[in-house]
Structures are given as C-alpha cells and as structure tokens.
Amino acid sequence: MAETGGSGHKDAYSLILQAIDIGTYRPGDRLVESELAERFGVSRTPIREALQRLETQSLLARDGRSLIVASLDHNQMAELYVVRSELEGLAARLAARHATEEEVRLLKDMVEEDMARVDDPAALSRTNRRFHRQVHLASHNRYLVQQLDLVYRSMALMATTSLAAEGRSERALAEHKAIVDAIAAGDGDAAYSGLKAHISRAFEARLRQDAENAAKDDAGTP
C-alpha cells in the first residue's frame, strides 16, 4: 500500500471518515494515531494528516492534547437542519425536472424495499442515507451534490438517528413515497415542500428524543 503517497493520504482520510459515518467512532470518542494506523494498515504520517484535515473541517475537536470526534450542540444542530432543509428541498425540486425514468424507478424501489426494514432503525438509517443521496444525484447538479455531501458529513456527528423515535420509521417512509410520487409527476413545488416538511419532522423527532434522553439522565441523577 502506498503509505506516503497521495493515494495513501486519501485512503486514510476516507477510512477514518467512513468509520465516523457508520458509527465505529462516536461523538466524544478519542482517536489515537497509533491505533488508527494499526486498524487501517497505513503509516502514521497519512493518519496524522488525515486527522488534521478532519479537525480543520470541525469533524474532530481538541480535548486537551487529544483529538476526539466532535459533537453538535443544540444551536449547531438547528443550524445544520436549516441548511439541510433548504438544500434538500432544492435537490427534490431539480430532481422533479431532471430525473430520468430509471432514477425514478430506483427511488420507488428503494421506498418499497425499505418497507421491510421498518422495525430495524439501524438498517433503515443506512438505507435512508442512500435514498436521500439518490435524490441528490437525481437533481443533476454537481455543485448542489457537493454541498449536500458536506452537510451529511456533519450529520454523522449526531449520536442517534431520528428514525429510532417511536413511529418515526413508518411516517418517514410514507413521506419518502410522497416525495418520489411528486418527483415522478414532475411536480417540483410538491417535491420541494414535501422534502422540506420531511426534514422538519425529522428534526422535531430528534429534538423529542434529546428531550426524553435528558429527562432520563436527570431522573438518574442522585
């Protein structure tokens, strides 16, 4: 493996980013160069440079001399959802104009397949991300897709999925179906408003989760 070349640097960055994204490393977890180098089979130099890059992107934070996976406070989360809502709404509007027949069929298939995962929030969270990315790609706007990729990197800093909230999975899939129906019909306004409302409800579910978790923590405090 090219440990000191450009590909090695890219691989180290991508591997750490993916590990954060899939929850191998969660907000607050400490990242140690030597452990990462051993896990991913690369030298410490590309690992060190990858960590510096992730810190610059605010995906990692300093805790004394250590680097930990960053977490989002309430205001950061709210700001992220505002940006996500607007950008994803735009992606849905553009998808209604530009999505091919094949892309629409794929989106319909994704919704249908996810119906079988309704009782598995972890699995549904993974396929949910693929669904949203497919909507992004169907917009056929590379710059919008790039910006949404950055938003979703920050979404990885949220410790839980809103789909774990009681009843949220079923409602989310119904919302996905309505969004796809609007895209298939070429109704940009309905696709835009549908996806924005979908993100708003996801944010509301996450806020409710956080409030319930905080109440449990308070109840357990002596």
What is the chain's Cα-based Rg?
19
Does residue 126 or residue 104 have the better pLDDT? Answer: 104
The structural domains of the chain, with segments of one domain joined by +, span 6-69, 74-219
Does residue 69 or residue 212 have the better pLDDT? Answer: 69
One-character DSSP codes across 16-79: HHHHHHTTSS-TT-EE-HHHHHHHHT--HHHHHHHHHHHHHTTSEEEETTEEEE----HHHHHH
Distances in whole angstroms, Cα of residue 45 to Cα of each of 49, 50, 57, 58, 196: 6, 9, 19, 20, 42
- Fold type of domain 6-69: Arc Repressor Mutant, subunit A (1.10.10)
Q: Strands (DSSP E) along the chain, which ranges?
A: 30-31, 60-63, 66-69
Average the pLDDT over 130-140 and give the result. 97
The 10s digit of each residue's pLDDT in 43-69 is 999 999 999 999 998 899 999 889 999
Equal fold, 6-69 vs 74-219 = no
Does residue 153 or residue 83 have the better pLDDT? Answer: 83
Does residue 222 or residue 71 have the better pLDDT? Answer: 71
**pLDDT of 1 strictly over 60:** no
Does residue 159 or residue 70 have the better pLDDT? Answer: 70
The 10s digit of each residue's pLDDT in 153-182 is 888 887 666 665 656 788 999 999 999 999
* Residue 208 and residue 165 in contact, taking contact as beta carbons nearer than 8 Å: yes
| Both tokens assigned to 191 | 């696709």
* CATH number for the domain formed by residue range(s) 74-219: 1.20.120.530
Pairing of strands 66-69, 30-31: antiparallel
HSE-up of residue 162 (Cα within 13 Å, Cβ side): 21
**pLDDT of 5 strictly over 50:** no
**pLDDT of 94 strictly over 50:** yes
Number of residues that this document lists for the chain: 222
- Report the pLDDT value the prediction gives residue 16, as an integer from 0 to 100: 94
Q: Classify the phi-psi angles of 117: left when phi > 0, otherwise alpha if psi is within -120 to 50, otherwise beta.
A: alpha
Residues 6+ apart with CB under 8 A from 140: 94, 95, 98, 99
